[in-house]
Amino acid sequence: MSTTPPRSRSQLDRELMLLRDNVLRLSTMVDAALQQLQQINRQLDVAQARQIIADDTKINRLRYKIEEDAYKLIARHQPTARDLRGIITSIHIAVELERIGDYAAGNSRLLLEMVDEALLISTFSNITRMLDLSRQMMRNAMNAYVHWDEEQARRVIQRDNDIDAIDKQVYQELIDLMTKQSHTISHATYMLWISHNCERIGDRITNICERIIYMVSGEMYYGIRQKGEEL
Amino acid sequence: MTDAQLIAIPNAQQVRQEYALEAHNLSIFYGNFRAVDSVSMKIQYNKITALIGPSGCGKSTLLRSFNRMNDLVPGARIEGELLFQGQNLYDPFVDPVEVRRRIGMVFQKPNPFPKSIYDNVAYGPRIQGIRKKSQLDDIVERSLRQAALWDEVKDKLRQSGLSLSGGQQQRLCIARAIAVEPEILLMDEPCSALDPIATLRIEELMRELQENYTIVIVTHNMQQAARVSDYTAFMMINENRSGGLVEFDLTEKIFTNPSDSRTEDYVTGRFG
Ligand SMILES: Nc1ncnc2c1ncn2[C@@H]1O[C@H](COP(=O)(O)OP(=O)(O)O)[C@@H](O)[C@H]1O
Ligand SMILES: [Mg+2]
């Protein structure tokens, strides 16, 4: 009796590649949402904000497709070892990316609430910086995913501290503002929210990188990040 | 020394060793050909250990050495040590018949004797000298129950074992093997001649038997090893064309994050 494993490796490889390509496609869609968000931070554009919200459904749809494809792949090929870890990681990444998309849509909704108000320039420039950092981190994380690069994933996680620092700074700025000028409270509260969402984007990218570390090394990464508990 | 001075292997109640079986640098030869090269592994009590690897890597040879079945092959010999209950099984004063009673074997193709179901199961106990009908009845029923076959055959114990389906025949062979109350059960591809449903029944049965027995199974079916075993040993032919042990670890480790890249290649189907 033959001991050749009862699977067709080339078919499995093909499907793994399709799965990976879809995760990459999802990440470019999310990146586009973040980029548009940066634009409307500079100059609020109602149509653009509505577009981000509308596009979020496409992101959601692709995330579910990725998940479903992954289940079919598992059922048909019974993958093991690095194949298995790669598939499970892809599902996790898709879920995290979709949540980042939600934050982009959420911030667009918040901006629409603020249409008639004068914008706080310094805060917005900080938020744009956070989005810049997030987009860089996300690009590096996806690079680590494609190249199975554990070191790069670890480096991306380090960058998250920078986003946290900006969020803290924004928080302090807005609290000061609210104490001094009570008429800014409603506006500043929206801004706090927006900033907090950006900070959460960094957390999601950190989660992605933790999964990539697991995918490559097979060791679960228990990154203990305190900041979630500070709230 | 004479035959009368054969060594008695202590039983598990007397001296509980840490492992059910321990191979130390065990090599197995057919004439000049070294089929298995210097394998060391420790088999845990009441666990299922699977031996996997490409065809011809020495899985069956290693398994058969665990109860001295290779003694029956002319020219076969071993080097190294195999400990069972702290006793080297290949000590010249160990009785191979005693070894094979305490370490039973189930083969790839179900091979019931052309006798009744009852006589198949009672065969071993009768050889051991048990004659009393009531005692044999008890053993037959207990063994068939443990082999999850009793309900299907209790009304036709006098029918030939060969009248059963393939899956039932294999469970009959398992009942026959456990009728003499072995401590270890060796199984060489016990499901390869069975359909998927019969295979699943045997796999379930192995999980039940695990409570009372230590099981070592050779399987060419990796999914089966992943499903049923607690530990997995991956073997491969080395540069000298002998079979060697590449990696031995918890099954979940072998199938999610093996340490050796050759194991990785094998379990992901990159070679076979
Ligand atoms: N009785 C035998 N006499 C001589 N060579 C044998 C005998 N049984 C097996 N071999 C050889 O030993 C090697 C290992 O065989 P085996 O243990 O059956 O491998 P596996 O079970 O992994 O397929 C093979 O090269 C095989 O040809
Ligand atoms: Mg074999």
Tokens of B205: 């049965």
Type and span of the H or E element at B215: strand B214-218
Task: Decide if A1 is inside a domain.
Answer: no
- Asked if A2 lies within 8 A of B55 by C-beta distance, the reply is yes
Could you read off the pLDDT of A134-185 as tens digits, one per residue?
999 999 999 999 999 999 999 999 999 999 999 999 999 999 999 998 888 8
- The reply to whether ligand 1 has any atom less than 6 angstroms from the CB of B64 is no
The three-state (H, E, C) secondary structure of B70-126, written as one string: HHHCCCEEEEEEEEECCEECCCCCECHHHHHHHEEEECCCCCCCCCEHHHHHHHHHH
Task: Decide if A18 is inside a domain.
Answer: yes
Q: Report pLDDT for A4.
A: 44
Q: A223 or B269, which is more confident?
A: B269
- The reply to whether ligand 1 has any atom less than 6 angstroms from the CB of B214 is no
Burial of B192 (0-12, 13-18, 19+ CB in 10 A): middle
Please give the average per-residue pLDDT across A102-129, as a whole number.
Answer: 86
As a whole number, the mean pLDDT across chain A is 90
Task: Decide if A229 is inside a domain.
Answer: no
The CATH number for A132's domain is 1.20.58.220
CA atoms of B76 and B69, how far apart (whole Å): 10
* Smallest Cα distance from B254 to chain A, Å: 8
Tell me the residue range of the domain where A189 lies.
9-217
In the reported structure, the alpha carbon of residue B189 is separated from the centroid of ligand 1 by a whole-number distance in angstroms of 14
CA atoms of B47 and B217, how far apart (whole Å): 11
- Asked if A81 lies within 8 A of B221 by C-beta distance, the reply is no
* Smallest Cα distance from A151 to chain B, Å: 19
Q: Report pLDDT for A146.
A: 97
Confidence of residue B60 (pLDDT cuts 50, 70, 90): very high
Question: Model ipTM?
Answer: 0.74
CATH architecture of B3-267: 3-Layer(aba) Sandwich (3.40)
Task: Decide if A199 is inside a domain.
Answer: yes
Answer whether 0.80 is exceeded by the pTM: yes
DSSP-based three-state secondary structure for B185: strand
- The conformation of residue B219, written as its DSSP 8-state character, comes to -
Whether the predicted pLDDT of A224 surpasses 60? no
Tokens of A182: 């009570």
- The b-or-e profile of A7-28 (16+ CB within 10 A means b, else e) is beeeebeebbeebbebbeebbe
Domain boundaries, chain B: 3-267
Q: Report pLDDT for A126.
A: 92
CA atoms of B44 and A215, how far apart (whole Å): 30
Please name the member of A6, A9, A85 whose beta carbon is closest to the beta carbon of B270.
Answer: A9
Q: Report pLDDT for B175.
A: 96
Q: Domain tally for chain A?
A: 1
Task: Decide if A228 is inside a domain.
Answer: no
Q: Report pLDDT for A122.
A: 79
Q: Report pLDDT for B13.
A: 65
In the reported structure, the alpha carbon of residue B55 is separated from the centroid of ligand 2 by a whole-number distance in angstroms of 7
Whether the predicted pLDDT of A95 surpasses 90? yes
Work out the number of other CB atoms within 10 angstroms of the CB of residue B62.
Answer: 27
In the reported structure, the alpha carbon of residue B256 is separated from the centroid of ligand 2 by a whole-number distance in angstroms of 25
Contacts of B51 by beta carbon, 8 Å cutoff, 6+ apart: B59, B62, B63, B216, B217, B218, B219, B233, B235
CA atoms of B118 and B73, how far apart (whole Å): 30
CA atoms of B118 and A55, how far apart (whole Å): 72
